[in-house]
A and B are shown apart, each in its own frame.
Chain A
Amino acid sequence: MMYYIVQGLLGFIAATAFGILFNAPKKALIPSGLVGMTGWLIYVFIDQSSGNPILSSFSGAFTIAFIAHLFSKSYKMPMIIFSVAGIIPLVPGGIAYNSMRNMVQSNYGVAMENVVLALMISGSIAMGLVFAEIITQLSLKVIGRLKTKP
């Protein structure tokens, strides 16, 4: 339990700091920090229970995009403002680094393994973002139809 609290706090700090680096609007800083925190917590939780980085990246990205959509509706700002900072911790920077490091040390096999894994993870992050977007759009349409046709 303590572990998750610490991880959530770290995710919040990292996402808010990235919000400042990306020059986010001041009133969007805290929401984007919250988005990053939830996304990272989901990522850590699923990564620990399944051990599959692709599945956990997908779920993290999906959560981030979903919550970012909710915030973008209530703040009337583009969704990208809330999602960008939260996505950064999920990006496979460490794996890309490992592949580069193995490449200079002439371990080409290990390097290629890491390159493919990094590509798969970025693909799954993008899939998570797109899926969340489609689902929110569909649900908005359904809600709109229910409201117009009682």
Chain B
Amino acid sequence: METPDYELAVECCLLAGRLMMESGAETYRAEDTMDRMAYSQQLTESQSFVTPTGIIFSGTKKKPTRLVRINNRSTDLERIAAVNAVSRKLANAEINLEEAYIELVKIETEHKVFPFWIQIIAAAFASGAFLLMFGGGVMDVPTAMIAGGIGYAVASMVEVKTRVKFFAEFLAALFIALIATGSVFLGLGIETDKIIIGSVMPLVPGLLITNAVRDLMAGHFVSGLSKGAEAALTSFAIGVGVAIVLSF
């Protein structure tokens, strides 16, 4: 078997790891994927150190270690599945290194997401369902759906514009609280608390909180603490947004 291209192999591993961390995969999964891909390319002594903000990867003892920065993180499950499929195929030698690299680049550049209006409708339905699951009345469902949809739309649009996630979530929570209190004031809604809880749920960093505790339990203390800090800041932003409206 010919010796694989070292540079390309490391490049491929780093790209896979970065795509996974940007899509919200667990830290151990990113490390595992990178090590498996490296192992299939005869880099048997690979070491990877993954944190939510950067990846350090070394293929062998003699060659230089590489570092890649991770700037934006979101949740994108389809991407995780796609990268996972590529690494699985590479490890089973169904495709070679060049093909894997081309597929990974394709995942990064031409990735499809659900249309924005479908996302807003989904957020609205989730808010309505959460309102009922948390014991709210049927009367409040329309308000919660409208507030949840608008809140999600505001959060996504402001995040694209300003690139500051916390500010976007703060504004979205502010809008949700305004809609909820306004509708109760006009007599269209009944329980302000329940409406706010239901509509805020699409914004709550639930995945981050559980992933943070899981990383801590698995011994990934750096990623666990940084994910926990991100979750705490996000919930703080949401809380402040709601609190400003409620304190009047």
Contacts and interface: CB of A to CB of B under 8 A. Distances in A.
Partners in one complex: yes
A13 B193 CA distance: 22
Contact of A81 (B81, B210, B239, B242): B81
A126 B201 contact: no
B129 A28 contact: no
Given A11-B133, A76-B88, A126-B214, A96 B204 contact: yes
Interface stretch (B3-11, B116-124, B182-190): B116-124
Given A78-B25, A78-B29, A130-B214, A22 B75 contact: yes
B173 to A, nearest CB: 10
Interface in B52-94: 75-81, 84-85, 88
A88 B235 contact: no
Interface residues of B, number: 51
Interface in B160-208: 193, 196-197, 200-202, 204, 206-207
A24 interface: yes
Contacts of B200: 93, 97
B209 A78 contact: no
B114 A88 contact: no
A126 B213 contact: yes
B242 A101 contact: yes
A91 B204 contact: yes
A122 B211 CA distance: 10
Interface in A34-85: 40, 61, 76-78, 80-81, 84
A61 B119 CA distance: 25
6 A-B pairs with the lowest CB-CB distances in the bound complex, closest first: A100-B239, A91-B206, A126-B213, A17-B126, A20-B122, A104-B243
Given A104-B247, A130-B218, 6 more contacts: A24-B77, A25-B77, A25-B78, A91-B210, A96-B235, A97-B200
